[in-house]
Amino acid sequence: MENKKRIYSAVQPSGMLTLGNYLGAIRNFPLLQEEYDCLYCVANMHTLTVRQDPELLRERIYALLALYLACGLDPEKNILYLQSQVPAHAELSWVLGCYTYMGELSRMTQFKDKSSRHADNINAGLFTYPVLMAADILLYQTDFVPIGRDQKQHLELARDIAIRFNKLYGDTFKVPEPLISKQGAKIMSLQEPNKKMSKSDENVNNFILITEDPDKIMKKFKKAVTDSDGEIRYDEENKPGVSNLINIYGALKNLSTEEVEKAFSGLRYGDFKTAVGEACVETLTPIRARYEELMADKGYLDGIFKENAVRAGAYAEKTLKDVYAKVGFVL
């Protein structure tokens, strides 16, 4: 494993993941485990920037791990761990915070977005969490980070911090590169196709959850926004709803845009939406069944967390000790 390039991914357990998360990233994770040294973090420390129900948060932590396993991630070939069980994350975050500028953090678009949505709780963690995100990535000498196009700003900050630290103290951190999936990288909302599908959307008809009931999936696709043109043709600017459905079907069936257009040429929107819904149900039903099995065995999930915290900690402690030595701490 030491000779392989390393991939790092962290996801907050702040709610069930969507079809967009699956097609944009998670579906590709099992394909990476043979070629890369992969770490997948359940980033529970990040969730505290917004007030959480403790019992619900605990359940969501287990749910995210179960979902990863149900989607095909092998706990022997990957490191699937819980962020708070590796103290080096918080420790490195403090050090890196001393090498991050206020202006850099104030420009982060997600800080502005969350501040507007949670105006009664604009806390220091909300402002500084990109530093913790940088620590997450840099702790593991990461080569690649799978990200959506809207997450590039956070990775750029991590790169800037790494470069700044390396210039001051010599070669310490690898400078990570983005790994962006080409197909299915950005699945849009079903009702508002000009914005990304999101699990935090207030309108439940805008997204499909990976563990969603098949009947609900079909109803949501049948309600999906299209247009009055009547032609199943890809045109993001003028036909965002239809284009989004073409993207989804193509990603589910591994077809190009042209192949999807050809397959549904001359058909009605209603038939097309039904076909997309059925393709989605076909893909997600076995994942849902395996997820429910795993959630019924919390002892098994706890065992994976415990074992992988040790594995992740071995990587993290090595980097942290190097950083502590470089800044002048007594080890």
- Among left, alpha and beta (phi > 0; psi -120 to 50; other), residue 180 is beta
CA angle, residues 286, 292, 298, in degrees to nearest 5: 140
Given a contact cutoff of 8 angstroms between Cβ atoms, the answer to whether 176 and 156 are in contact is no
Q: Catalytic amino acids? A: 114, 196, 199
C-alpha dihedral, 307 to 309 to 311 to 314, nearest 10°: -140
Burial 266-275 (b: 16+ CB within 10 A, else e): eeebeebbeb
CB 248 within 8 A of CB 19: yes
Report the length, in residues, of the chain. 331
- E-strand stretches of 127-192: 144-146, 177-179
The C-alpha atoms of residue 192 and residue 220 are separated, in whole angstroms, by: 13
Distance CA 94, CA 135 (A): 9
Cα 82–64–9 angle (5° rounding)? 60
